[in-house]
Structure 1
Amino acid sequence: MSTQSTPITSSQEQSGAPIKIRGAIETRSIDYVPESERHGKVWQQGPFWFLGNFQFFTIAIGFLGPTLGLSLGYSVLAGALGIVFGTFFMAFHATQGAKLGLPQMIQSRAQFGYRGVVVVLFASLFTFLAFNVVDAILVDDGLNGIFGWNKTVVGLAITIVAAILAIYGHDWLHVVFRVLFVVSLPFYVILTIGIMTGHAGGSAPPPAANGGLTLVGFMSMFTAAAAYNITYAPYVSDYSRYLPRNTRSLPIIAAVFGGAAASAIWLIAIGAWLSSRLGADDGLVALRDAGNNMVHGLGTLLAILSVLALVATMGLNAYSGMLSAVTGVDSVRPIKPTRRARVITIVVLSVIWAVIGIGFGGNVLDALSTALIYMLYLLVPWTAVNLVDFFAVRRGHYAITDLFTPHGIYGAWGSRGLISYAVGLITMLPFAVLPAYPKYTGFLAAKLDGVDYSIAVGLIVSGALYWLLCRTLDLSAEVPAIARSEQELRREDVPTVEHA
């Protein structure tokens, strides 16, 4: 008798109806993607994640360095190092989607338990909503500054577009991201050439106002940049789970790393230049001005493309937010992962971020940096536990069907994962520094000249503790369950033939 309480495949597949994904509203959500439906290509991950950072949210992160007193060069260096560090952890999650055919947070049930995963789902859902709140603020303010458009109308319009994109789902997101990547890339190349040749305007500030190097400023910029891509970690498997199961790990990790890191480093550098050389305080307006300094209309086109990319990314956030929310509900009360559940969840999340984003009236840079820091603190212990489990403990071997029941080998509450997450989070607090909402400096951070080292502490403590606690884990006892799961998946993976 099967122990699963939630179907591993959608109700459409179970009914024997032909499954259509490409070109239509996606039917799958938190359920397993059978091998017969795996149609993704590894190369698609590169432009997908490149475009995910190829918008003016990333440019706004570049503004942080100069506002913290860093020179242009040190702002770019701190941002680049932070992105490389953060993307390293993000990219390794990509292989999990292809290997398991599951959304990221369903796989986390192996570490935290069927019900225990709700604890970390709070962190992931907060991340998705916080990104969309900040995105909405940035778009509202930017389009109001350029065209004078009403912020409320803009906020509602971009929310509707992002929600529709999320409702259509995985394949539509990939297609839209690739199209925007191809269209946007040449114009950013032109802008970059203009910046390097002096045709984009701007001038070096006087030496007294040029900024320099402070450890606090450098580490704050590093942390914000690292947080930017580490906070993508709960997303990655969501968009690689349609890849064939035999996809090799290194190519997919490299594709995700290259795409996500290259665009982020590039636009953070542009953002730092716009802030330090143009004296800008709004990324979208500054992008418009720099482009128009070169060719009339170029800047306006760049601004529009950047908005489109950011709205597409809001769809990405809404889609992954839906997966986290449905996983959370299912962990408390099992539900069928139907198309209707997907749509309702996306609509509810859209209303939440729209209300908060449109109604927020604070400083945009403060909101951005604070949101990134909160996301970082909540997700660092999780990513450490998740990666250690996948690569060092279970080494990619899971009983997938047991992830859909509280009575399987992973249980309802994963004490090892929950303890490691909690201890990691607690040990980060003395090293943490919050710039605003509220302001906070841990007592050890204060003794270290106000520098935030919590990210390293969280990764090391949570990862090491989980590895130690798993030394008593009897992996041999999981082998029969894995074999049983594979047999069940093979029975489920029978494609339905649609006759004309």
Structure 2
Amino acid sequence: MNTETGEGTTNAFRLGIEHRTIDYVPISERRGKVINQGPFWFLGNFNFVTTAIGFIGPGMGLSFGYTALSGTLGILFGTIFMAFHASQGPDLGLPQMIQSRAQFGYRGVIIPLIGTLFTFAGFNVVDTVLLSQGLHNLFGWEISAVALILAVIAITIAIYGHDWLHLVFRILFWISLPLYLILTVAIATGGVSGKPPAHSGFNWIAFAAEFAAGASFNITYAPYVSDYTRYLPHGKSRTGLVLSVYLGASLSAIWLIILGAWLSTYLGVQDGLVATNLAGNMVFPHLGTILVLVSIGALAATMGLNAYSGMLTLVTGADAFVKLKPSKGVRVVGILVLMVIWLAISLNVTAKAINALYDSLSIMLYLLVPWTAVNLMDYFFVRRGHYAIRDLFEPNGIYGAWSWRGIVAYFVGFAASVPFFDLAGFYEGPVAKALGGVDISWAPGLLVSGLVYYSVARSLDLARERPAINASVLSLGSL
């Protein structure tokens, strides 16, 4: 069976379980097309969880127009950082967090790994809660049964791995696209009737909250990207790849956030599945049900994405202290461990789904912003894409076990953002309080972490790394 997998030259589609985990992908295994990255990341955001981001502004009194504008600006901003990680995959042939050993050290990488693992597990918790509660409200389905079925589907896709993820995402992309087009055109042409809200307009706090939710939504994808571009052939255009990822991830998110803002504003619905079902059935009978089922499929596949990258993060962390031999068994165990964690949390969540979503996105943003600033600063401005890949797998290699520069930059950036935190009911920083509850912690987190790392990295003797880089290139060339 021959097909394209979505990432580099055409090659045989792998029916079995992917055999690679955190190890280097040899040039001979690179395949697919850069242009297919767009639909892949488009589908990753094309489900009702993204629609729920559009509920935040109207829920705080923001008008439909201002919610659409704020959400769009947030997505456009946050996706910049996510998309630029894409070029690291084909350049290095490595999962995202293995490459971070260059900034934090072979064992020091455990610090950002905590944040990334929280992100992968957190998204699956939020997805499970939103979907199981939504289906319970809509059809009366048992919450625990839905959660279990979702988990089984997600881990099955994740266990089979990279090729299957790309195939499933591509199929769901072409199924979802025309259905959401029908709904959107119907809304735009008056085919879905709604009632204008009694009170809505502009307020700064709601506008900033919607922007922050949009920005964090795609910034939290940053640790994923290289995992799904590492099978691309080396030497692919950075510009084309970054643009493909950027457009895919941003266009679908903007589309559904605006759709969610309209549904919340004019239908007054605050549940993504209920809103999708209601609006779809207004267009013609059973369209809403079909849209719900398609959205469930897209979300289950995205949960598989989270489980796959979460497994890579978990294995990277374990390998930092106990040397692991990459194998199918390691992959399966890692995915099963993650499933147990997110299921246990999901079945014990009692907060409202929207609150769980917003709080989780905020926490993920806090943890990931300093890492993405350090990683991108090192890759594009310090080492400029030149790494000794072989040394990333050695605790005594040129990057060391603990790299103080990345660790210091991470914690200084995180500390600088704490006064800007706003977690309703948990903590409100003094700056956030002075701004009326507006959380702009991402700004000092990005700026401070990036600048601190660039400053301390000036003492690096990059010339001393060159022999190790050359030796690594020769060694990998033999593979």
Q: TM-score, normalised by structure 2?
A: 0.97
Letter matched to residue 95 of structure 1: S
In 2, the alpha carbon distance for the partners of 1:203 and 1:178 equals: 36
In 1, the alpha carbon distance for the partners of 2:13 and 2:325 equals: 18
Alignment counterpart, residue 415 of structure 2, candidates 407, 417, 426: 426
1:382 pairs with 2:371: yes
Letter matched to residue 393 of structure 2: F
1:257 pairs with 2:249: no
Specify the alignment match of 2:104 in structure 1. Answer: 112
Alignment counterpart, residue 68 of structure 2, candidates 65, 73, 76: 76
In 1, the alpha carbon distance for the partners of 2:147 and 2:344 equals: 9
Specify the alignment match of 2:8 in structure 1. Answer: none
Contact 1:366 1:435 in 2 (8 A): no
* 1:190-205 alignment runs, 5 A limit: 190-205=182-197
Alignment counterpart, residue 448 of structure 2, candidates 461, 464, 475: 461
SS at match of 2:438: coil
Contact 1:40 1:240 in 2 (8 A): no
Q: Percent identity?
A: 56
Q: CA deviation at 1:172?
A: 0.4
Letter matched to residue 252 of structure 2: S
Q: CA deviation at 1:40?
A: 2.2
In 2, the alpha carbon distance for the partners of 1:435 and 1:290 equals: 31
In 2, the alpha carbon distance for the partners of 1:155 and 1:431 equals: 35
1:444 pairs with 2:436: no
1:53 pairs with 2:45: yes
Q: CA deviation at 1:450?
A: 2.5
Q: CA deviation at 1:332?
A: 1.1
In 2, the alpha carbon distance for the partners of 1:273 and 1:448 equals: 27
Q: CA deviation at 1:481?
A: 0.3
Letter matched to residue 323 of structure 2: P
1:318 pairs with 2:315: no
Q: CA deviation at 1:158?
A: 0.6
1:219 pairs with 2:208: yes
In 2, the alpha carbon distance for the partners of 1:243 and 1:456 equals: 32
* 1:200-349 alignment runs, 5 A limit: 200-206=192-198, 209=199, 211-349=200-338
Q: CA deviation at 1:201?
A: 2.2
Specify the alignment match of 1:189 in structure 2. Answer: 181
Contact 1:50 1:262 in 2 (8 A): yes
Letter matched to residue 199 of structure 1: G
Alignment counterpart, residue 474 of structure 2, candidates 473, 478, 487: 487
Alignment counterpart, residue 122 of structure 1, candidates 110, 114, 117: 114
In 2, the alpha carbon distance for the partners of 1:216 and 1:454 equals: 14
Q: CA deviation at 1:146?
A: 2.1
In 1, the alpha carbon distance for the partners of 2:191 and 2:12 equals: 50
Specify the alignment match of 1:154 in structure 2. Answer: 146
Q: Deviations over 1:211-244 (max 9, x none)?
A: 1111111111100110000000000000000000
| RMSD of aligned residue pairs (Cα, Å) | 1.1
Alignment counterpart, residue 141 of structure 1, candidates 133, 142, 146: 133
In 2, the alpha carbon distance for the partners of 1:365 and 1:338 equals: 39
Structure 2: state its 5+ residue gaps: 1-10
Alignment counterpart, residue 20 of structure 2, candidates 9, 28, 34: 28
Q: CA deviation at 1:95?
A: 0.3
Q: CA deviation at 1:62?
A: 0.6
In 1, the alpha carbon distance for the partners of 2:174 and 2:430 equals: 48
* 4+ long deviations beyond 3 Å: none
Contact 1:21 1:27 in 2 (8 A): no
In 1, the alpha carbon distance for the partners of 2:26 and 2:192 equals: 50
In 2, the alpha carbon distance for the partners of 1:410 and 1:355 equals: 37
Structure 1: state its 5+ residue gaps: 1-18, 493-500
Q: CA deviation at 1:352?
A: 1.2
Specify the alignment match of 1:174 in structure 2. Answer: 166
Alignment counterpart, residue 409 of structure 1, candidates 371, 377, 398: 398
Q: Deviations over 1:193-222 (max 9, x none)?
A: 11111212212123xx2x111111111110
Q: Deviations over 1:409-442 (max 9, x none)?
A: 1000010000000000001001111124x2x211
In 2, the alpha carbon distance for the partners of 1:198 and 1:284 equals: 21
